[in-house]
Structure 1
Amino acid sequence: MPLRVIEIVTPREDKEEVIKSLEEHRPDEGYVFWASPLDDDSALSFRVILDVQESENVLDKLENLFSWNEKYRIIVFAAEATIPRLKIPEKEEPEVTQNDKNAEVTIKNRISREELYSDVLDTSVMSKSYVMLVIFSALVAVIGLMRGNVAIIIGAMVLAPLLGPNVGFSLATTLGDKKLALESSKTLAVGVALAFLVSLGAGLLLGLPKISSELLLRSTTSFSDIILAIVSGAAGIISFTLGVPTSLVGVMVALSILPPLSACGIFLGAGETGHAAGAGLLFLTNIICLNLAGVVTFLLQGIQPLTWWDRERAKVTAIRMAFLWGIMLAILILFLYFGIIS
């Protein structure tokens, strides 16, 4: 199991209070900790080493303890190993009263909410690097689609600049975080617009004397595409929550977001409106399935805000959005079933 180090910087006068709190919770989480003085002699640094699955429980307890005060600072970073190894605590079933909703301690087989939020935020924020990545990815996709070269298309899939903002929007929905939702939506909108314009320009300038098989594959939608998008989306979300970025490569390839969008732009620029509509529909299908799978998987993984009032509000938002994505998917399935679209 991966390890995490939680560093707590506190004023020196609060040393005993922090030690008492850490000692009280140590039997539940099975961590070890120690304190070190900082250079200015007015603050201490506590370091706690524990399994990643316990990090959210400890962070939530620390945040409740500090509630929140500018005097404190908590930093989380990864640890490769510790010697001697951590002991696995023997857990007893905790008694949870109605008046103490935060008393329940559950093992979460994932990274902490704060660590997940930081990882997702990195891929959801608008930046010059993101804009360049979208443009380069779109160019790679256009070249691969026009040449019918699968290897080049996979290169565009691996870059996957549109995956992060979608995951960010799903996490924002689950947490009821309006700021992250707006940032992810803005980043996604800009990314989609740029990729489409690059592809449209290629279609207008170069035309389409020959439609490659790879382009044709992105101009139709089938039930298998829906299943693939849902399964791949759920797998991608789990990869994020486990903090295993290497497994995302396979998800990026399976969940093809950019190539259908590029195909739509190429077809439209070349005057192939029928094929353009089909490619646009496949792109929309992937977006719907990814966000639906994202919200549901985040909920199943137990991702929720810290305080109970935020949890209730976020739960309502997540259920409403999941219902909305589900309705859109149901309409799409009905259209496919009755042959209205293909």
Structure 2
Amino acid sequence: MSRGVDLPNVRLVQLTVPTGKRQTILETLDDRGIDYVVTDEGSDREYTAVVYFPLPAPAVEPVLDELQEVGIGEDAYTVVVDAETVISRRFEALREEYEEGDVESDRISRQELQTEAESLTPTFGVYSTMTVISAIVATAGLLLDSPAVVVGSMVIAPLIGPALGASVGSVIDDEELFVESITYQIIGIVFAIGAAAVFAWAVQAINIVPPGLDLAEVDEISERLAPDLLSLAVALGAGVAGIVSIATGISVALVGVMIAAALIPPAAAAGIAIAWGQPAAAIGSTALVFVNVLSVNLAGLLTLWYLGYRPESLFALGETEQRVRKRVVGLVVIVVVFSVFLGAITYSSYQVGNFEENTREEITMVLDDEEFEQYQLLDIEVVMDEDYPIQSPERVVVTIGGPPGETASGLTTEIRERVESHANGDVDIEIQYVTILEE
């Protein structure tokens, strides 16, 4: 009795047979051990039959390539659809031949990949509208300091198609897809930053948000105005995950959110900084947008080549390899340049962290002295300047608790000297005393 195979990676191929090629095609399928059904076709003299045959997803590309070699032209109708269940004596052996349990063998065919990449990119009207809406929602979420609203903006962002389409177009030699995807990405960035700036200016002008709002005091905004190298890991991970998702036929919805996370909130933060009249503050977030989009493209390109995707024509392979190599080198160079910039911001944050830690240790050592043992450190606040994206400590507020009465002689001077010894520049030091009443 034949065995039923119920798998999510089974395809049913429907292929029109050109006149004079019927016997050759059927012999090719027989040689491969592929079961098929043939029906006569009377609607077009150029085609004599339609052949139907099931294939494991990894077998679609090599089988179609072989059939093209024996006479199936690009103008022939070939339809590949999902098949839920296959009942066949030979299908199990065919599946074991092509499926090896790794990512390379689980990938979909080159033909399906191209279709999937094209389907992920909506029409220009829908794309631009959804991008603008997403940017506006992200801007509102940032101004409200609401992570939940910011996440919601990522869900509706239609960025995954263009972000991955450029990589797909490069490796399969589809320049039209590549150019369209690059164009969409540029337009998406411009629209996102522009929509965020206009919306932020509007809510500021009608006093929905106080004009004097300090952007540094809003955590959701400040962390994107001074990004660090960890942001690069998010973009690279999003690019790899996105390509693996579409290449293996897995749902890309959640990966699309991840890609949007790397692009939409930083674009919204840049728009807010522009609306607040702080173009310098927008430098860091704008750089983050560009480095993220480039990193997504780079990771996607390398992942697709690693998975074994190549152009349909072997004659185009050498030219495509050269083109892909140039694009990879170009992307690497640009990403490295941006990474140096992010590295400078990261190093600045590292220095600030060390300064705060050293300040705490020095003050603790002072208060451990027998002369000041009745005092205790309550809080240290390091206030940064507004020189985005590379900030420095501007003021240090030290809160000391102690018994009622006058401050111990020399404590203030000792703390100031200790803190100033660790500052790289001029830092205002403010010391506050709080009375602690013992019960």
Partner of 1:9: 16
Partner of 1:56: 61
Following the alignment from structure 1 to structure 2, what is the Cα–Cα distance between the partners of residues 20 and 316?
A: 37
Whose relative contact order is higher, 1 or 2, with alpha carbons under 8 Å and at least 6 apart?
1
Q: Do 1:162 and 1:258's aligned partners in 2 also have CA atoms closer than 8 Å?
A: no
Partner of 2:197: 200
Picking from 157, 165, 169, the partner of 1:168 is 165
Partner of 1:98: none
Picking from 321, 330, 342, the partner of 1:315 is 321
How far 1:11 sits from its partner (Å)? 4.3
Change in Cα spacing, 1:91 to 1:115, as seen in structure 2 (3 Å) is closer
2:234 alignment partner, SS class:
helix
How far 1:56 sits from its partner (Å)? 0.9
Deviation string for 1:34-79 (max 9, x for gaps)?
A: 1123464853211110111111111111222235264x31111111
Q: Do 1:171 and 1:298's aligned partners in 2 also have CA atoms closer than 8 Å?
A: yes
Which residue identity is paired with 1:205?
A: A
Partner of 2:298: 292
How far 1:125 sits from its partner (Å)? 5.7
Change in Cα spacing, 1:8 to 1:225, as seen in structure 2 (3 Å) is same
Q: Does 1:146 align with 2:143?
A: yes
Change in Cα spacing, 1:66 to 1:262, as seen in structure 2 (3 Å) is farther
Which residue identity is paired with 1:47?
A: Y
How far 1:338 sits from its partner (Å)? 4.2
Q: Do 1:162 and 1:192's aligned partners in 2 also have CA atoms closer than 8 Å?
A: no
User: TM-score with structure 2 length normalisation?
Assistant: 0.68
Q: Does 1:157 align with 2:154?
A: yes
User: TM-score with structure 1 length normalisation?
Assistant: 0.86
Deviates more, 1:315-324 or 1:151-160: 151-160
How many residues are matched?
A: 322
Picking from 80, 88, 91, the partner of 2:93 is 88
Following the alignment from structure 1 to structure 2, what is the Cα–Cα distance between the partners of residues 91 and 134?
A: 44
Following the alignment from structure 1 to structure 2, what is the Cα–Cα distance between the partners of residues 163 and 60?
A: 28
Following the alignment from structure 1 to structure 2, what is the Cα–Cα distance between the partners of residues 259 and 222?
A: 15
Partner of 1:181: 178
Change in Cα spacing, 1:311 to 1:108, as seen in structure 2 (3 Å) is farther
Structure 1 residue ranges, 4+ long, deviating more than 6 angstroms after superposition: none
Change in Cα spacing, 1:140 to 1:285, as seen in structure 2 (3 Å) is same
Q: Name the % identity.
A: 23
Which residue identity is paired with 2:295?
A: C
Which residue identity is paired with 1:177?
A: D
Partner of 1:215: 221
Following the alignment from structure 2 to structure 1, what is the Cα–Cα distance between the partners of residues 308 and 122?
A: 24
Higher helix share: 1
Deviates more, 1:318-327 or 1:167-176: 167-176
2:85 alignment partner, SS class:
coil
Deviation string for 1:112-153 (max 9, x for gaps)?
A: 111111111123464322222212212221221221221221
Which residue identity is paired with 1:20?
A: E
How far 1:83 sits from its partner (Å)? 2.3
2:190 alignment partner, SS class:
helix
Which residue identity is paired with 2:230?
A: S
Which residue identity is paired with 1:36?
A: T
Partner of 1:100: none
Select the structure of larger CA radius of gyration: 2
Q: Does 1:19 align with 2:30?
A: no
Change in Cα spacing, 1:218 to 1:148, as seen in structure 2 (3 Å) is same
Following the alignment from structure 1 to structure 2, what is the Cα–Cα distance between the partners of residues 223 and 217?
A: 12
1:87 alignment partner, SS class:
helix
Structure 2, unaligned stretches of length 5 or more?
1-6, 99-103, 349-388, 391-439
Higher strand share: 2
Deviates more, 1:313-322 or 1:5-14: 5-14
Cα-Cα RMSD = 2.4
